[in-house]
Amino acid sequence: MDSIRIFAHRGFSAVAPENTMAAFRRAAEAGADGLELDVHLSKDGEVVVIHDETVNRTTDGKGKVRELTLEELRRLDAGSRFGKEFAGEKIPLLHEVLELVADQKLWLNIELKNNKFPYPGLEEKVLEVISRFGLSQKTVYSSFNHYSLRRIKEKQPETDTALLYMAHLIEPWNYAAWAGASSVHPYWPTVTEELVRGCREQGLSLRPFTVNQARVMGRLIELGVDAIITDKVDLLTDLLAET
């Protein structure tokens, strides 16, 4: 069986606050092959790493990311809600994560969070930062906004773009090929033998999300997916060591 890559969902978010440098460092220490993270643009156009369109859930602040400047975002505590030991963790800039990735030789799965609010120029800014660090060959771009992925592909044809989706789509491998994507990132309950077979025949990489149960991980390992996106890096690492 080919090696299945482990992508740490928002970092090792089972043990550290999601999308923080603490979570990314913990993922690297736990043996993850790559980091999954989410990017938005601040009011002043900086690429910041956070999942939600607002800061309300994960920080001590309130408001939409796109309506706050970088300085305002950086004042927020993104760690205390997870645990007192993480007090003072900040919302990272994308380039801060890349510095860690370059040092640890990790892969990146960058989700462009522009399916609810448009971020004009997000694709160009992310591509520029990745290119500056020389990480284009180790980066996957994913999004629920498939128009955004098409723009990525138009600007950088050799880039790995991955369609995110939740539904039980009919022949998603054919849709991905039509859309110009090179990978699919389906919600894990939609993964079937037919999907795995279709992706293999179309030459697509298959990386389900967000898989946190040992039983489900085992099934996906048996099916032969290319990677698994998980909050629980340690659990998946142990299961893969047994196969």
How many Å apart are CA 187 and CA 185, to the nearest integer? 7
| 3-state secondary structure (DSSP) of residue 196 | helix
What would the two tokens of residue 65 be?
A: 């990311």
Q: Please identify which of the residues 40, 51, 146, 185 carries the catalytic annotation.
A: 51
Contacts with 56 (C-beta within 8 Å, 6 or more apart), sequence order: 62, 63
How many Å apart are CA 21 and CA 12, to the nearest integer? 10
At residue 112's C-alpha, the angle toward residues 140 and 82, to 5°, is 100
CB atoms inside a 10 Å sphere around CB 123: 23
Residue 183 half-sphere exposure, CB side, CA atoms within 13 Å? 24
Q: Please identify which of the residues 9, 40, 146, 185 carries the catalytic annotation.
A: 9
Q: Is 51 a catalytic residue?
A: yes
How many Å apart are CA 141 and CA 167, to the nearest integer? 20
What would the two tokens of residue 133 be?
A: 């660090």
Alpha carbon 65 to chain centroid, angstroms: 18
What would the two tokens of residue 176 be?
A: 């991905």
Looking up tokens 């660090």 gives 133
Instruction: Enumerate the active-site residues.
Output: 9, 51
